[in-house]
Chain A
Amino acid sequence: MTSFKSLMQPHRLVLIALFAALVVWCAVSLRWDWIPTYAPLALEGLWTTIWILVVTSILGFALAVPLGLAQAVGPWYLSTPARIFCTVIRGTPLLLQIWLLYYGLGSLFPQFPWIRSSELWPYLRQAWPYAVLALTLSYAGYEGEVMRGAFSGVAKGQLEAAKAYGMPRLTMFRRIWLPQAVRNVLPTLGGETILQLKATPLVATITVLDIYAVSSRVRSDTFIVYEPLLLLALVYMAIAGVITLAFKRFEDRVPQRR
């Protein structure tokens, strides 16, 4: 965080004044009269963006732990599929993955009568399960690589000490291996979560109504081009800021030898 004093240098004061002037100019001369009409829809979209981000990050991380473990210490019949999964996910664009799941699976499922009559069908007809699945797999693919490094980076002596105390393997994993691995990669995880936030607008292309989709609707309804986009960029920057702060708090709680 930049301190107040460092903001008080003359050239920064000039920049801040210029920026404030720019904001005032934006507020006065650009069109904002559409906001009251679309505010409820925008809040709904914001909520969709946030819950998709949170749910896919948590599920993706849960999937990334076994992926990383398999790659770090697993036997070849586990590590090879995990490595292939990570390579494929990281090697193809997310937009293509989302479209493959939505249009591909979405066109395949209706052909099977037992899927149509199952209880899951009302969900499978909607777009968001495909969005959540695609984003989860993508997060897991990127995180699997990160966790591979994290798991193999934990000091061997710690695990040996746990073994020497006769700790069961699961307890050792839960109490020592996983926490240490996660601590070491917290900054990377924060960066990856921001990347995940930046991937969420892609779900708008499969008709999920997130905050990006709301801004597109404003643009197509009112023919106002820049204002919704500028506000949208501001919203994303705000969420990215919140993620950064949250991870900083996590990192501060980790005791460090300096």
Chain B
Amino acid sequence: MTGLLDLFGLAESAQLLSLSAPGWGGNLLRGLANSLQIALGAFGMGLIIGLFGAYGKLYGGPILRDLLAIYTTVIRAVPELVLILILYYVGTDLINKVASSFGYGRVEISGIVAGIWVLGIVQGAYATEVLRGAIKAVPPGQIEAARSYGMPPFMTMRRVTIPAMMSFATPGLANLWLIATKDTALLAIVGFAELTLETRQAASSTRAYFTFFLAAGALYLMVTLCSSVIFGWIERWARRGQPSLRERRQ
């Protein structure tokens, strides 16, 4: 193994990327773990906001509908970077105001919680649109049938709407998840120690920019490729029982 690395002149890069102390591999992996944690949290929060948002947009009153329309339009028109800054400052300000009104001092907010909160609100706007489209694609007869059996609305949602819309929603949700993993890189600008920031610190202290940026790119790419495999499984699971287009065409 070492002979092979020497052959390609990669011994120095391998040393820089090694997991033990002189190498920076451990830092990169810790950054990756932070990134994935934030992405998972933000995606989950986005799904919850999106589900309520989609129901609000479809079945809510006129005021709720207009407010949700403003929410999705504004969030989707403003760059994520600007939103992250605004939401970050608003969030820390609000928490500090609440804390001081209860008589506590300044509160330090953990980077991960703030990142999840900020990216979750951004994801929520996109998820609202994805899920709204998916819910609208469910044949209304199925929901009417559930209603006519006297199913309460929440049970209809759990047993009929969500399973039936899954196959329409998974491609959009897969895209959203990929956006979430890549948006975590933006948190580097606010100073969270996620993968991109760790990479930049490692690169600027060793001057080996290409090694570290390419390594981080490979890590992100690995996450992307793994996620597309997993989402492929989820989509196949969501489509079970549906006739495949390819078979029908023949």
Residues of A at under 8 Å CB distance from B? 9, 11-12, 15, 87-88, 90-97, 99-100, 103-104, 107-108, 194, 197-202, 205, 212, 225-226, 229-230, 232-233, 236-237, 240-241
Contacts and interface: CB of A to CB of B under 8 A. Distances in A.
B239 interface: no
A225 B89 contact: yes
19 contacts: A91-B225, A92-B221, A93-B185, A93-B186, A93-B220, A95-B189, A96-B196, A96-B216, A96-B220, A99-B200, A103-B203, A103-B209, A108-B210, A205-B189, A226-B89, A232-B82, A236-B79, A236-B82, A237-B74
Contact of B63 (A11, A93, A94, A97): A11
B224 interface: yes
Contacts of A96: 185, 196, 199, 213, 216-217, 220
Contacts of A202: 81, 186
Contacts of A15: 63, 66-67
Given A95-B188, A236-B78, A229 B66 contact: no
B17 to A, nearest CB: 15
B62 A9 contact: yes
Interface string B147-180: 0000000000000000000000000000000100
Given A93-B186, A103-B213, A212-B82, 10 more contacts: A92-B217, A93-B184, A93-B185, A100-B209, A104-B210, A108-B209, A199-B79, A200-B79, A212-B81, A240-B77
A100 B214 contact: yes
B95 to A, nearest CB: 15
Contacts of B63: 11, 15
A229 B225 contact: no
B-side interface mostly:
helix
A202 to B, nearest CB: 7
Interface of A is mostly: helix
Contacts of A212: 79, 81-82
Contacts of A232: 82
A197 to B, nearest CB: 7
A90 B224 contact: yes
Nearest to A191: B76
A33 B30 CA distance: 44
Interface string B190-204: 000000100110011
Given A88-B217, A103-B213, A94 B200 contact: no
Interface of B: 62-63, 66-67, 74, 77-83, 85-86, 89-90, 178, 182-186, 188-189, 196, 199-200, 203-204, 207, 209-210, 213-214, 216-217, 220-221, 224-225
A13 to B, nearest CB: 11
Contact of B221 (A91, A95, A240): A91
A95 B81 CA distance: 11
Given A95-B186, A96-B185, A103 B66 contact: no
Nearest to A91: B224
B79 A198 contact: yes
A205 B216 CA distance: 18
Contact of A237 (B78, B182, B209, B225): B78
Contact of A11 (B62, B178, B189): B62
Contacts of B210: 100, 104, 108
A198 B80 contact: yes
Chain A CB count within 10 A is highest, among B62, B80, B81, for B81
B167 to A, nearest CB: 20
Contacts of A95: 185-186, 188-189, 196
B77 A91 contact: no
Nearest to B86: A229
Contacts of B196: 93, 95-96, 99
A230 B189 contact: no
B79 A92 contact: no
Nearest to B79: A198
A192 B185 CA distance: 20
A198 B182 contact: no
Contacts of A11: 62-63, 66
A100 B200 CA distance: 9
